[in-house]
Amino acid sequence: MNNVPVMAGLILTGILFIIGVMGVLIRRNLIFILMSIEIMLNAAGMAFIVGASKWTQPDGQVMFIFILAMAAAEVAVGLALILQVYNKFKTLDADSLDKMKD
């Protein structure tokens, strides 16, 4: 573990995060948007791990466990919402779901 430079780890998390953001912005399917959010979360979690290994502290690992738990909960809620949206509108296209405008 110690052989991996911190910089490389952080660049990887940065790339992952940008991929996630781009996914959220570009993708129109709600499922993919949810997946992109998961990628962003994991990028953030990975940044914690990198930090933890640099300072050899357990706090970063703890934070990752938290993020993992939260991501699981989020997927559960998110998927349930997506199911409901699909039931109601028969579509998963984020752009055509603009009823919140009014």
CA-CA-CA-CA dihedral for 5, 38, 94, 89, to nearest 10: 170
What is the spatial distance between Cα 79 and Cα 87, in angstroms, rounded to a whole number? 12
Q: Binder to other proteins among 12, 24, 49, 67 (CB under 8 A)?
A: 24
Q: Which stretch, 8-16, 44-52, 55-63, 92-100, contacts other proteins (CB under 8 A)?
A: 92-100
Which of 47, 18, 20, 46 is closest to 35 using CA atoms? Answer: 20
Residue 26 or 62: the one with the smaller Cβ distance to other proteins is 26
Residue 33 or 46: the one with the smaller Cβ distance to other proteins is 33
Residue 4 or 31: the one with the smaller Cβ distance to other proteins is 31
